Amino acid sequence: MTLNDPVIAAQGLDLTFETNDGPVHALRDVSLDIGKGEFVSFIGPSGCGKTTLLRCIAGLEAPTGGSLTVNGMTPEAARRARAYGYVFQAAGLYPWRTIGGNVRLPLEIMGFSKTEQADRVRKTLELVELSGFEKKFPWQLSGGMQQRASIARALSFDADILLMDEPFGALDEIVRDRLNEELLALWRRTGKTIGFVTHSIPEAVYLSTKIVVMSPRPGRITDIIDSPLPRERPLEIRDSREFIEIAHRVREGLRAGHVDE
């Protein structure tokens, strides 16, 4: 793998689920390259396969056709090599572990030394601004803080790729805005490659360097937009003409997907 090779490369990806009501085409002919350090959003209505695509990249779902590589490996091999951190919509913290204990969990599983564990827990909690909450239990934290802890958990073992499945979907708009800002700052600082599933247009446009618009039945890509926005993005950028133009194009892409039906 050379420097310019994509971190994630999909070519003609197909995934068909066999159900009792006949086959369901979750993904059809999905082709996509994601380069190192990109922030890629997958946006589309429910049933468009955006989560399924993310799960394929994570090796949690096996495609039925086409090719998919992650870090030049099969997704399964990449999963076994612990190539990515995954954040789900629900924080899914273990209630019987403290925040620190939750962040430490993947480190324990991967066999880091005790001192290394403590060090990394401290650092990642700092990164998501949860220092001082290490000894607290999940129920003592707000929803937004819990989601930050779950991001810390995904970051703690320092994988190059971060996959996020509607991580802020269950949070209110104000908390969401803040976490979006923080996530951008975190991305700039760490240089990670991020795959981000969302169904919010402003969120996708604000965060991404690349926006993948998808449509349902069968799940496919209708548009890939490379964002011209700078890496440095204050919240006010959302009122700029460029931002509104990209948002418009995303909306058009989503609408086009629906006309096809």
Partner 1 sequence: MRNARPVLAVLAVLLGIWYAACIPMNIQEVLTTAARAGAVVIPETAPERLATSRFVLVAENLDHIGASWSVDRARLPSPEQVLGELWKGIFDQPVTSKRSLVYHGMITLQATLAGLALGLVVGVGLAMAIVYFRVMDLSVMPWAVISQTIPIVALAPMIVVLSNSLGLGERLGIENRLVSKAIIAAYLSFFPVLVGMIKGLRSPDAMQLDLMRTWNATGLQEFSRLRLPASLPFLFASLKVAVAASLVGAIVGELPTGAIEGLGARMLVASQFGQPLLMWASLFAAAIAAGGLILVVGLLQRFVDNRLGVRS
Contact residues: partner 1, CB under 8 A: 58, 60, 79-82, 84-86, 88, 90, 92, 94-98, 105-106, 108-110, 137, 139, 157
Q: Which DSSP symbol is given to 110?
A: H
- Closer CB to partner 1, 163 or 246, in the complex: 163
Give the whole-angstrom CA distance, residue 153 versus residue 178: 19
- Main-chain phi, psi angles of 46, to 5 degrees: -65, 145
**What's the min distance (Å) between Cβ of 197 and partner 1?**
14
**Residue entry with tokens 């590589």:** 69
- Closer CB to partner 1, 105 or 224, in the complex: 105
Cβ contact 181:151 at 8 Å? no
- Main-chain phi, psi angles of 232, to 5 degrees: -85, 115
* Angle between the N-to-C axes of helices 143-155 and 99-110, in degrees from 0 to 180, rounded to the nearest 10: 20
**What's the min distance (Å) between Cβ of 108 and partner 1?**
7
Give the whole-angstrom CA distance, residue 9 versus residue 28: 15
**What's the min distance (Å) between Cβ of 170 and partner 1?**
13
- Closer CB to partner 1, 198 or 215, in the complex: 198
**What's the min distance (Å) between Cβ of 233 and partner 1?**
28
- Closer CB to partner 1, 17 or 94, in the complex: 94
- Closer CB to partner 1, 110 or 256, in the complex: 110
**What's the min distance (Å) between Cβ of 147 and partner 1?**
13
Give the whole-angstrom CA distance, residue 247 versus residue 225: 10
